[in-house]
Every structure is written in C-alpha cells, then in structure tokens.
Structure 1
Amino acid sequence: MKILIKGGQCFVNGRLVEADVLIQDGKIQALGKGTIAEDETNQVIDAHDKLVTPGLVDVHVHFRDPGFTYKETVETGSKAAAHGGFTTVGAMPNVDPVPDTPDKIRQMVKRNQKASVVHIAQYSSVTVNRQGDQLVDFQAMKAAGAFAFSNDGSGIQTAGTMYRAMAEAAKVGLPLAAHVEDNSLLFGGVMTAGKTADKLGLPGAPSVSESAQIARDLVLAKVTGVHYHICHVSTKESVELVRLAKKEGVNVTCEVTPHHLLLADHDIPANNSYFKMNPPLRHEEDRQAVIEGLLDGTIDMIATDHAPHSREEKPKDDMRGAANGITGSETAFAMLYTKFVRSGVFSLTQLLNWMSVVPAEQFGLRNAGHLEPGQPADIAIFDLNTERQITKEGYRSKGVNNPFTGQRVYGTTDLTLVDGKVAYSRNGEDFA
C-alpha cells in the first residue's frame, strides 16, 4: 500500500517547505517536490493549502487507565490525542494500581499497545505507590519498558528521597520528571493567592510553593547530574531559577502547558471548576514570564497535562472540593496557533519545534518528532485557514472539563496517521 500526501506545506528540519510525502509499509519512503509519481500510488491525499507535520509529541498526559476508567481509558485518551494531532504521548503513573514494579509496567505497556491508536511512552512512578520514601527499582523499571520516572500529581516532599531518586535515574540514564509543589506552602488554597482569589472569596495558595521546591531540586540535580525535567512550570520565579541553572550547566529541561500560556487568574470569570488546575492559573506577570521563557529557550517544550475528569468531579459552580485539571490534547495546537502564531508572538516553526522536535529529542523518543525518510509515518495534517468552533460534542475524550470550549480557532486537525494508518480523520476517511 502506497500513500501519497501531495502538495502540503511540510515541516522538515525546522523549516516549512512545499513537498510531497510518500508512505509505504507504515514508513515515510520519500519526501520531495515533483519527484514522486502519483500514478504509482494507491491513495492520494490532497494537502494543498494544508500544514503537514510530524505527529505532535506530548510528554505529559493522564489516561486514567487502569483504575479510573470512568474518567478516561487508553482508547479514549489516545483518540483524543490523535484528534489533536499527537502521535506520541507520555502517560503519567497516577493510576491504580500505580506502575511501581516491573510486572505492573509490563502490563501497562501491553495494555497501551493493544488499546491505543497512538504511541504511548509509559512513566514509572519514582516511589512505591507514588507516595512516601521507598524508591522503585529504577534499573528493573527501565528494563520492563519505562521511558522516564515521575510522581506527577504529587511533589516529592523529602529532599533525601529526591536526592536518592535523582542518583538512581542518573545511573540508568532516564529523565526524572518532577511535579514541583511544597505541600507545607499550600495553606488549603484552591487557586493562586491574590486579588482574584479575594474577589471570588476562595482560599489562595502562594506561588512560592512551586519555586521553593524547584530551587531545592536544581541544587540536587547539579550534584547528581540527572536529567531533571520540571513539569508545568508556571511562575516567573520558576522561570528565572531555571534560566540561572541552565547558565550554570545543570542538566534541566522544563515544559509549560497551553493553559498557563493562554490564561491568567484574572481570566477566571467565576467560581468555576473548569478553571481549577494544579499548578493553578497564575498572575499575568507569570503568564508573560513563561511566554518569554519559551522564546528565549529557558522553557524547552509545551506539554498539555491532559487531565480528564467526570462531570461529578468537576461541578462547574465550585472549585472547593473539585478535582484539579483540564483536558488539553484536543485543543492545544489550535488554541496556540490561533492566539500566538496568527498574532505574531510565536512563529509557526517555533510552535512546531516546541510540540514535536524538542520533546522527542529531550526524552529520547527516536522514532518521533521528525518528518523524514525511514521514520514511521506518524503525520498530522492541519487546516490553518478555516475557522471552526471548539464544541463539547466534538471531543473524543471522556472528559469535557475544558475552559476553551466554545472558542473559535484555526489550525484544526484534518488527519492524523500513526504508522501510516488513520488514527483520526475529520471527514471520517479511512484506508487500509
């Protein structure tokens, strides 16, 4: 089966070039302009006036499977990812049972491969049951299929535990991705402390709960030499700490979410749980700082932190007691393209680098993030010219907890291929 994607603007080696893409046996066979004979192919996909990219890479998703499949499953989460143009994702370990033994990791990898329409790289937890101070067997977890380690959803509270975990991760040569949050500095807050929290009558948590733990971890990372990756950076102090650490040669990378780029706490219209996430939306000066951090290379990549919940866990009229998190896989590229690229803040090549090339390279995902011959045919095609509305009915995820529902955007996904097979098609097109 030969498939030809014809006439698209292709993102190749950091540049946009008009080219045709030939796919055969699940791989990219050729890439060029006018060099591929159309009559020798079985299927032609007209990509004129469309953007053709390597499948996007998201190193931070929550698929809730096993244990919380009323929120999401591997199947629905992966279909949501494909709907957003993602073909490779990193699944976090806050599930039940927690993948903290080699057997559990192997079971999750097997489940992922069977049920997913995209490629899933599986995180191991750092500690047993993602709690306490007992470390997992890092070498055994790597051998069983873990691609990185994280206790995401919970900050590691003890410096000694983090130090030992970093040392073990460094030994096996895998990243340690940290949810940075000092619980002693939260004070029961459900959003960032400040004028908006006061206006809404909600308890606020100071943003130093994030930056204080980052400061601790950066010192430990320098000593251990680990690849220390910071999840969902959100404050100006955090950005400055990472900037200084990189200058000092610390092996640190970090990500920012679409929602922390797009929203600040003053955008929260009411006591609405669809605006409750962890870390919470910060002040406008923090939002500007993470934008600047992306542009100057302090922040390496964008990751969604896709976090679906049931309607019961997200009562729209109260943040108190509501679960943290919003969905993101299906809205990330379109929202960022519309709000930042079309306005000239980011270039399109910058956005694609942050959402494909850099996460693949930094996390050692060698078969992702590049559009080139020999690579798997993991490809997304986007329509940059047609405005469409984000609707609740259009979501593939079980979760509809997304504050961007109703927004009108450009950059919607037309087609996502994984190993040359259709993982998502806006028009319902399929082929063998």
Structure 2
Amino acid sequence: MSYDLIIKNGLVILDSGEVETDVAVKDGVIVAIGSELGEAEKVIDASGLVVSPGMVDAHVHITDPGGGYRDEWEGYVTGTASCAKGGVTSFMEMPLNQVPATVDGQSLEIKYHAGVGKLKSDVGSFGGVVPFNLSGGIQELHKGGVAAYKCFMATCGDRSIDGDFMNVDDYSLYEGMRQVAKTGKVLAIHAENAAITDKLGEIAYKNGETTLKAYVASRPVFTEVEPIRRAILFAKETGCRIHICHIACPEGVAEVTKARKSGVDVTCETCTHYLYFDTDELDAIGPVVKCSPPIRDKANQNGMWEKLLAGEIDFVTSDHSPCTPDLKDKDNAFEAWGGISGVQNNVDVLFDEGVQKRGMSLRQFADIIAANPAARYDLAQKGRISLGKDADFVLIKPNAPYTLKAEELEYRNKISPYIGRKIGAQVIQTILRGHVIYSKESGVSRDFIGEFIKK
C-alpha cells in the first residue's frame, strides 16, 4: 500500500507508552503503525524527536468577529497560525470575547461565517450560558453543533456593548445546568465569587493599590474554592456534566477530586501560566501577566504540580485571552485587561517544565495536552496516535533550549509574558490531518485547511 505520509524513526507516544516506530497516514487519518511500512508520497524523518498527538487546547479565546469594538484583537488567521507554530492542531473556542458573543443559533452562525477560509487548525466551539439565553438559546446552540458550553460565575462582559457576554447569577446557573444536562454536553465554568472579588478589588483600588501583588491579594484562594463547591452542588442537583476551568489553587483541585470520588461527573483543568509564573515575579513582568484567577505564590504553584503529576488535574490549557497592547499598558494593574497570550507556548513550556524538569511521563504529557481534553469534549477523531484517528501530530525536539523573541510570535499583537524566557524544548513540526501546517525550516503554512468541528 502506498501512503500519503510516513513519519519515520520518531519516539512515538502511543496509548501503551512511547516507542520508536513509524506512523503512516492516508486520507488524513492514521492507517498503520510499525516498521517497514512501505512507500509514501512524503516521508518525514523524526530521528531524535518526540512524536506526540497534536495539542487539543481546550481553552482559547478568538475575537472574530470583533463587531466594531474588538477588531484589532486576535482573529482566526493569526490565532490559528499561533496554534500551528505552537503544536496546537485543534482547540476549543470560548463563546467570548467576539461580538456578538456565541449565545444562540444566529450568533453561532455569525462566528462560523467569520472563520471561513481563515483556519489553519481545527476548531471546536463552546456555546455560552448567560442570563439572557435561557429561553431557547441553549437548544439552538446544541442544534448548531457546539461541542460544549461555558459560563462565568465571575463578573465578565462589557454592558455598554450590545451582544457582549455576561456572567450568570445563581438562578441562571441552576436553570442553565438543567437545560445543558438535557443535551448531554459539558458545561465548563469559570469559578470565582463575583461579589467578593469585585468588592475586594474595589476596596484595594480606592485605597490606592496599583500592583499585581495587590491584585492577587484581592482574589484569595477561598474565592475560587467556594464557587467550585457551589457549582458541584448544582451539578448534583441537575445531573449536569461540568468542567472547572483554569483552577489556580490546589484547594480547588481537591474539591473536584472529592466530588469525582462521590460520583459527580466533574473534571478540571489548569493553565500553563499557573505552573510557570508565581506572584513574586509578576510586578517585574507587568500587566501582560495579569489574569483571573490570578497567578498565586510559589508554594501554591508547587501544590499545583503535585496535583497535576498525581493525575488529579485532567488537562492543561492556555486560556489564550489576548487584547490590544493599550489595554495592558497601564500603570495601575487593576485597570489592565486580565488575560494572557499563551497558545503558542503551551507545548514547549509544558514539555520542558513537566517532562524534562519534573520527570512527567510522555504518556501523561500526551494525555494532559491531547487525549483527555478530546475525550471530555467528545472529539472522537482527536487526541491520540492510534489507528483511525485524525493524523494530528506535534514533533518536539527535547533538550533544545531557545529564548523566545517577540518577533517569533504569530499573534496579531505580539505581547506575551513568555518573551525573553529560555524554554528548553522546541516544536519542530505540526501536522494536521496529514498536512504540515508548521515546520521550523519553512514556518507556518500559507494554507487554511482547518475546519470547524461540529457535534
């Protein structure tokens, strides 16, 4: 048999663990794994490289369309190019910060239309759960093919912008869960106590606080833990499958573990930046590293690594949430936009920090970047190197340190807290359904072969 592509001599991460073998691709899917596979139109020699499933980044914000308000934020062209360069072959797109937010059938179609001819990676969509779409919007999103839903328990959205996203109150969360449960899909939740964090932030600001360290103090650990508990209680009551987004403290992870052991269908994620940065370095970096929940102290970070390595955190995401530079360039941290640009540096940073520095197994690495998020959101063709799956790969060169420069970023606005950082591994190639969408030698492909994944 003649194949379209064979990847030879790489250390391939399979379900059974890593093995030096070859992988053959035909018509965009994996059709053979082994040695002496035969001939192919294209052969990639992966000697010295780790061949991992392409990353399924389960938490990415693309602001397309911008609706006249956010037109200069991250669009599909630059966002998916950044994915390609970073080893992300598919991602789950949040229902905000695009305008209009993705909260019903019409806004979902607007988003799909905005992505036509602009995708370099595959995209699964979240639909929003907001107080104003409980009379049919959730059902329209289900019919339109969203892979899952998302809501905010923290304050979000700009009320001066018609069609912007909005956080849920307790009733909206409860009723939204009841409706999502009937679809069988997962509700992903940003869990922070809005009333307390908003008031603590207001008090700190009025008291003249300006630093990121003060911002972190205004969002203490318990303001994550309490809403996680509340969401779990509502999930028990409604039967809704839930996922807790971007947990930043081990105490929050412990609540998920406890609930899961009691039979609740709940999973959780953390983000690369919570495993990499700590509070004491934030003010030296500046508002480019501001996010919510906030980046906590070193002891907290160590606790998060313990939870991750122990298997209590299901996957790691970027929560790529970029904006324009002016919204980050603030002397007062409380006035800066909260969001980190990170989708291009998930794979390399996690490989370096997890596998190379902390001894994470390659199998666990592949699980947390690909297999687990694909499984949670029922992306049946994604996440694993096995027969019949989409031929999505990232080829990683271990022990290959480099220092990230701003000009190397594919983002529309080239700002990132990882600029200037020495990263100890490199993405060498990214392959989507058998097509090379990035190589270190030639850069990001000019082709737009990405597709929306509709469920």
TM-score, normalising length: structure 1: 0.91
From 260, 264, 267, give the equivalent of 1:253. 267
CA distance in 2, matches of 1:371, 1:111: 31
**Does the 8 Å CA contact 1:302/1:355 hold for their aligned counterparts?**
yes
Please, which runs of 5 or more residues in structure 1 have no aligned partner?
Answer: none
The answer to whether residue 398 in structure 2 is matched with residue 399 in structure 1 is no
Q: Which residue of 2 aligns with 1:121?
A: 124
From 173, 177, 196, give the equivalent of 1:162. 173
**Does the 8 Å CA contact 2:201/2:334 hold for their aligned counterparts?**
no
Give the drift of 1:424: 1.4
Give the drift of 1:134: 4.0
Q: Which residue of 2 aligns with 1:75?
A: 77
Q: How big is each residue's C-alpha offset from its partner over 1:18-40, in whole Å with a ceiling of 9 and x where there is no partner?
A: 1111122222221112x212xx2
Give the drift of 1:109: 2.7
From 88, 101, 104, give the equivalent of 1:101. 104
Code of the residue aligned with 1:36 in structure 2: it is L
Give the drift of 1:139: 2.5
CA distance in 2, matches of 1:178, 1:8: 38
The answer to whether residue 201 in structure 2 is matched with residue 189 in structure 1 is yes
From 386, 401, 407, give the equivalent of 1:372. 386
Q: Which residue of 1 aligns with 2:258?
A: 244
Q: Which residue of 2 aligns with 1:62?
A: 61
Q: Which residue of 1 aligns with 2:49?
A: 50
410-419 or 59-68, larger mean C-alpha shift: 410-419
Q: Which residue of 1 aligns with 2:189?
A: 178
Give the drift of 1:169: 1.0
Q: Which residue of 1 aligns with 2:451?
A: none
Q: How big is each residue's C-alpha offset from its partner over 1:42-87, in whole Å with a ceiling of 9 and x where there is no partner?
A: 2211100011111111110011111123111011111111111111
Give the drift of 1:192: 11
> CA 1:201–1:139 in structure 2 vs 1: closer, same or farther (change >3 Å)?
closer
List aligned pairs for 1:1-400, cutoff 5 A: 2-33=4-35, 35-37=36-38, 40-67=39-66, 68-94=70-96, 95-127=98-130, 134=134, 136-152=136-152, 154=154, 156-186=167-197, 187-189=199-201, 202-203=214-215, 204-205=217-218, 206-270=220-284, 272-315=286-329, 317-400=331-414
Code of the residue aligned with 2:54 in structure 1: it is G
> CA 1:352–1:316 in structure 2 vs 1: closer, same or farther (change >3 Å)?
farther
Give the drift of 1:173: 0.5
CA distance in 2, matches of 1:162, 1:123: 16
68-77 or 197-206, larger mean C-alpha shift: 197-206
SS of residue in 1 equivalent to 2:302: helix
CA distance in 2, matches of 1:307, 1:136: 28
> CA 1:272–1:135 in structure 2 vs 1: closer, same or farther (change >3 Å)?
farther
SS of residue in 2 equivalent to 1:189: helix
CA distance in 1, matches of 2:315, 2:236: 21
CA distance in 2, matches of 1:87, 1:117: 8
SS of residue in 1 equivalent to 2:343: coil
> CA 1:9–1:198 in structure 2 vs 1: closer, same or farther (change >3 Å)?
same
**Does the 8 Å CA contact 2:320/2:341 hold for their aligned counterparts?**
yes
> CA 1:367–1:293 in structure 2 vs 1: closer, same or farther (change >3 Å)?
same
Give the drift of 1:178: 0.5
CA distance in 1, matches of 2:183, 2:428: 40
**Does the 8 Å CA contact 1:192/1:207 hold for their aligned counterparts?**
no
148-157 or 243-252, larger mean C-alpha shift: 148-157
TM-score, normalising length: structure 2: 0.87
Code of the residue aligned with 2:21 in structure 1: it is A
CA distance in 1, matches of 2:432, 2:229: 39
> CA 1:344–1:288 in structure 2 vs 1: closer, same or farther (change >3 Å)?
closer
CA distance in 2, matches of 1:408, 1:201: 24
> CA 1:88–1:136 in structure 2 vs 1: closer, same or farther (change >3 Å)?
farther
**Does the 8 Å CA contact 1:232/1:255 hold for their aligned counterparts?**
yes
**Does the 8 Å CA contact 1:308/1:400 hold for their aligned counterparts?**
no
Code of the residue aligned with 1:171 in structure 2: it is K
> CA 1:200–1:222 in structure 2 vs 1: closer, same or farther (change >3 Å)?
closer
Please, which runs of 5 or more residues in structure 2 have no aligned partner?
Answer: 156-166, 448-455
389-398 or 206-215, larger mean C-alpha shift: 206-215
Give the drift of 1:249: 1.0
Code of the residue aligned with 1:64 in structure 2: it is T
CA distance in 2, matches of 1:15, 1:141: 38
**Does the 8 Å CA contact 1:271/1:318 hold for their aligned counterparts?**
no
Code of the residue aligned with 1:189 in structure 2: it is G
SS of residue in 2 equivalent to 1:45: strand
Code of the residue aligned with 2:177 in structure 1: it is M
Code of the residue aligned with 2:181 in structure 1: it is A
**Does the 8 Å CA contact 1:191/1:281 hold for their aligned counterparts?**
no
> CA 1:351–1:136 in structure 2 vs 1: closer, same or farther (change >3 Å)?
farther
CA distance in 2, matches of 1:225, 1:412: 42
Give the drift of 1:152: 4.8
SS of residue in 2 equivalent to 1:309: coil
CA distance in 1, matches of 2:343, 2:431: 16
How many aligned residue pairs are there?
Answer: 423
Give the drift of 1:202: 3.6
CA distance in 1, matches of 2:109, 2:210: 47
CA distance in 1, matches of 2:116, 2:427: 23
CA distance in 2, matches of 1:431, 1:47: 23
SS of residue in 2 equivalent to 1:83: helix
> CA 1:294–1:135 in structure 2 vs 1: closer, same or farther (change >3 Å)?
farther
**Does the 8 Å CA contact 1:149/1:177 hold for their aligned counterparts?**
yes
Give the drift of 1:370: 1.1
Give the drift of 1:112: 3.2
Q: Which residue of 2 aligns with 1:424?
A: 438
**Does the 8 Å CA contact 1:8/1:19 hold for their aligned counterparts?**
yes
Code of the residue aligned with 2:12 in structure 1: it is C
SS of residue in 1 equivalent to 2:335: coil
SS of residue in 1 equivalent to 2:264: coil
RMSD: 2.5
CA distance in 2, matches of 1:201, 1:308: 21
